[in-house]
Structure 1
Amino acid sequence: MHIEADSPLGSVETRTIDMVPEAERHGSPRSQFTLWFGANMQITAVVDGALAIVFGAEALTAIIGLLIGNVIGGIVMALHSAQGPRLGLPQMISSRVQFGVRGAALPLVLVILMYLGFAATGTVLSGQAINRIFGVSSPEFGILVFGSLTAFVAVVGYRLIHVVGRIATVVGILGFGYLAFQLFAHHDVASAFGQKPFSVATLLLTIALSAGWQMTFAPYVADYSRYLPTRTTIASTYWTTFSGSVIGAQLAMTFGVLVAALGGNFLKNQVGFMGDLAGGPVIAALIFVVIVTGKLTVNCLNAYGGFMTILTTVSGFNNKTQISSRARMLYIVGFVLVSMGVALLASADFLNNFKNFVLLLLAVFVLNLVDYYLVSKEKVDIPALYDCNGRYGAYNPVALGCYVLGVVVQIPFLNQAMYKGPIATMLGGADLSWIVSLVVTCLVYYPLAKRTMKVPATMIYPTDAAPQSAPATRAATPAVAPDARQPA
């Protein structure tokens, strides 16, 4: 879906779920590092690290487990990012290869709910920080201000989002570096270690915390690498994304482990604790700005990705390939308003336990990777992604069945606040659900997909978007019938 030619920073982005032509590609892989470092070096990642201590892990065990999980999950999310320059497409449109043009609606609806839940959680914390900056007690004020900032950046789009990521990287390093200095200067950090015995169950649970954190970025990543030139190598996109996300998350989570292990009221008053640790009202206000900047980065990803995922879902049924600027803005503003409403109305328990739901999405990301790298081997018929009568059809029962299987097999292995499965109980509380889901889904889907997928002989591009280096792979026909090309 396209509105008009791409525009410079400061004006509204025009591309949505259509392929970005080579003439509009720009930037370098370095932008992936700063975006994902900034999106991970933030207060919610600190909370995730602190939860490892709450769940019973010893501090050193927690730090090692979080590192293992971040690396494992980072591999999955970075492999998705590497698809961006090759396909020139946002992440979730490519799920139509596996599920079909309309069948993709099943995982897409769940991803939309994920975006909303994460956006609402971030809005609550950022609203608290904004209220403290301005000395306001009404929660509505901070939420309204933060929601407005989120909507503005998401509407302007890709270029501005990357600028915010660069700012968040610098601000995050300075802000959290100062907080770490304060922590070491005023607390006996060494006493945080050795408080509890080592436990395999808590190690596995800690690995799951960070692996799940990283893998939930899988629906996001190609959205922000798709404008990179086609000549960009897979390795450069992969490593800049991987390193930015893993390093940013690990630093923030390690800080969370230390503040939780040292005691205090961090989890009861996360924003207030950070301000108190800063020392003095002026420095505390600056730390609140750090919190807002980091959360703004990731919340813009939620609004931007949420809008495109909604559009991907809707377009599978109405066959429209164009959208007006006004409609694009309304999609984004509508999403932000709903997330603000959830932030105001949802209970704290709902937002804290929301991450449990996200584990059910992991099978979607594995299906995409198995198909792209092992079955299709980086060959996609891009025009067919927009045509129910094309190569991928409306529904793919193989992928849909494997996805449901990937969700069901997790249940006995889950160890979450809302449910603890019998096998998790037998294993002393170790949560292996995500590992079981990934392994079973891969083993079942791969042989079935090899037999049933209609893989093109080479990459097939739209006639108006193919790279100059690949004229032989251009599609001869438009993505959909001409009468479907009406603005929303």
Structure 2
Amino acid sequence: MADSLVERRSIDVVPDSERHGTAFSQFTLWLGANLQITAVVTGALAVVFGGGALWSVVGLLVGNVLGGAVMALHSAQGPKLGLPQMIQSRAQFGVKGAVVPLLLVIVMYVGFFASGSVLAGQAVGELTRLGDTAGIVIFAAVTAVMAAIGYRVIHALGRVASVVCALAFVYLGVRLLDRIDLGEVLAHHSFSLPMFLLAVSLSASWQLAFGPYVADYSRYLPRTTSGRATFWWTLGGSALGSQWSMTFGVLVAATAGDAFLAGQVSYVVALGGTGLVASFLYFVIALGKLTINVLNTYGGFMSMVTGISGFRGQRVLSPRGRAAYIAAIMVAGTAVALLGKDTFLTSFKDFLLFLLTFFTPWSAINLVDYYLISRERYDILALSDPNGRYGAWRWDALAVYAVGIVVQLPFLVTHFYTGPLVAPLGGADISWVVGLAVPALLYWLLARRDTSHIPDRTLLPPPRHPA
């Protein structure tokens, strides 16, 4: 079983006999997942929407470090529990109550699958000469196959992408610096707090959006793996990869203007050259997007199974069921990609910031419970039993989650809604800070009053052969 390429585990706990790898695998996976075109576009948005290059880079760095630290705290849960991230959320929200944030998580995965497919589809369309639409469909099918194979191939893909994409970004960086005057680009030091906080929010939302599935990719590590090592390797790979890509995006957007806006993929490839070089760069763009889209598809199917199995009392999933869930994510994401490919930039920025509203409260509740309330002690079998110690619905956590969403609305800035407290703050969006701090404090105050459901140690189920 431990040597099988095709993964057979899904929502069930990974037994010690099947654990493998080292914490360094998290570095290569998250480096490869972030050295890609959508991260470039995310960095470019900080300039496209009015920020200067210098302070945009600084703001993106702040957001990547802060959001990446929160994301990496989730990653450290994987080796300890051997569970997908959202299954563990049942300890906070109840076996059935966890479906509330799960519904939004699934929307997130479909959205990221779609946005990634738009850009990767352009690259595949150019490589195959079949056009964007066919490129999107081909890319989606390859993504689904890789996600169906599962954990081992995902990490192998991350290792390859981390090397290939790093080399490509070094080359593109040299080409870009040959074309621009870096000193002139960074010479404008005027500081705008709203634009700075927009840059922070863009990169923080990028990192926090990984939170609901980051432990899915560390859960096969041996239980003895250091939590600190898992944290630092995850943070290092994710923050380095995203900051590298986003800084490139800032410099491109600050110097290319409308040429970049008219076609993000084609501009980046043209920067690198023509002929075989261009073909290689189209391949690199598709490879980078394949890595992250496989993560989104895999995480999406895990979340769907977690939500549905909470009502069905299901603890394992058959290979046929696994394939069906993955196909559903692929079809939904591809449909959204085909419908939204012509309004990508504005839609993607709003999508990122809107998602952040829903995931910061979940992240705050999950981390406070794991590190401060339960202190890493869970009853794994009870996470599948609505009549067990965690119950079907934990209304205190759900209420805190709802409050965490509502308190952000006055501070939120998107294309379709701006909160009433944004103008007094000079247009700055600080909703994600409020969304982390308020529910974290509220949940800590409520949850510490009754800890009778917390076991003295983590209770593992007896080993079972996967279906």
Residue equivalent to 1:476: none
In 2: Cα distance, 1:206 partner to 1:141 partner: 34
Q: Following TM superposition, by how much is the alpha carbon of 1:194 offset from its aligned partner in structure 2, in angstroms?
A: 2.9
Kindly state the Cα deviation for residue 285 of structure 1 after the two structures are TM-superposed.
Answer: 1.2
Match in the other structure for 1:468: none
- Cα–Cα, structure 1 residues 202 and 486, in superposed 2: closer, same or farther, change >3 Å? closer
Task: Report if the CA contact (8 A) 1:7-1:14 is conserved.
Answer: no
Give the Å deviation of 1:178: 0.7
**TM-score if structure 1 supplies the norm length?**
0.92
Counterpart in 2 of 1:462? Answer: 461
Work out the CA distance in 2 between the residues paired with 1:68 and 1:361: 19
**Superposition map of 1:398-413 within 5 A:** 398-413=396-411
Distance 1:198 1:208 in 2: 16
Structure 1: stretches of 5+ with no match in the other structure: 466-484
Alignment of 1:6-405 (within 5 A): 6-9=2-5, 12-137=6-131, 139-195=132-188, 197-264=190-257, 265-346=259-340, 348=343, 349-359=346-356, 360-405=358-403
| Equivalent-residue separation in structure 1 for 2:91 and 2:179 (angstroms) | 54
Moved more, 50-59 or 388-397: 50-59
1:127–1:141 contact (8 Å) kept in structure 2: yes
Describe the superposition over 1:12-44 as per-residue Cα deviations: whole angstroms up to 9, x where unpaired.
Answer: 210001100000001111110000001111111
What is aligned with 1:474? none
Aligned residues: 461
Retained in 1: the 8 A contact 2:44–2:249? yes
Identical columns (%): 51
Letter in 1 for 2:151: Y
Offset at 1:6?
A: 4.8
Deviation at 1:353, TM superposition (A): 2.6
Q: Answer yes or no: is the 8 Å Cα contact 1:6–1:15 preserved in 2.
A: no
Deviation at 1:402, TM superposition (A): 0.4
1:7–1:13: 8 Å Cα contact kept in structure 2?
Answer: no
How far residue 193 of structure 1 moved from its aligned partner, in angstroms, is 1.6
Deviation of residue 148 (structure 1)? 1.4
Letter in 1 for 2:129: G
CA contact (8 A) 1:381 1:461 kept: yes
Given that residues 274 and 284 in structure 1 are in contact (C-alpha distance below 8 angstroms), is that contact kept between their aligned partners in structure 2?
no
Distance apart, 1:400 and its partner CA: 0.2
Deviations 1:327-374 (A, max 9, x none): 111111221111111111235254453223211221101100000000
Separation of aligned partners in 2, 1:230 and 1:175: 35
In the alignment, what sits opposite 1:479? none
Contact 2:55 2:189 in 1 (8 A): no
Deviates more, 1:154-163 or 1:207-216: 207-216
Distance 1:210 1:323 in 2: 35
Q: Distance in 2 between matches of 1:130 and 1:77?
A: 31
Letter in 2 for 1:355: L
Superposed CA deviations along residues 375-432 of structure 1, whole A, max 9, x for unmatched, are: 0001111110000011100000110000000000000001122211121111111101
Q: Which residue of 1 aligns with 2:448?
A: 450
Work out which of the residue numbers 385, 400, 424 in structure 2 matches 1:426: 424
190-199 or 375-384: which moved more?
Answer: 190-199
Separation of aligned partners in 1, 2:423 and 2:457: 49
Instruction: Please give the TM-score of this superposition, normalised by the length of structure 2.
Output: 0.96
Q: 1:196 Cα deviation (Å)?
A: 5.9
Structure 2 unmatched ranges of 5 or more: none
Q: What SS class does the counterpart of residue 222 from structure 2 fall into?
A: coil
State the distance in 2 between where 1:243 and 1:341 align.
34
Report if the CA contact (8 A) 2:116-2:289 is conserved.
yes
Q: Deviations over 1:36-69 (max 9, x none)?
A: 0011111111111111112222211111111111
Residue type of the alignment partner of 1:8:
S
Distance in 1, Cα, partners of 2:165 & 2:211: 22
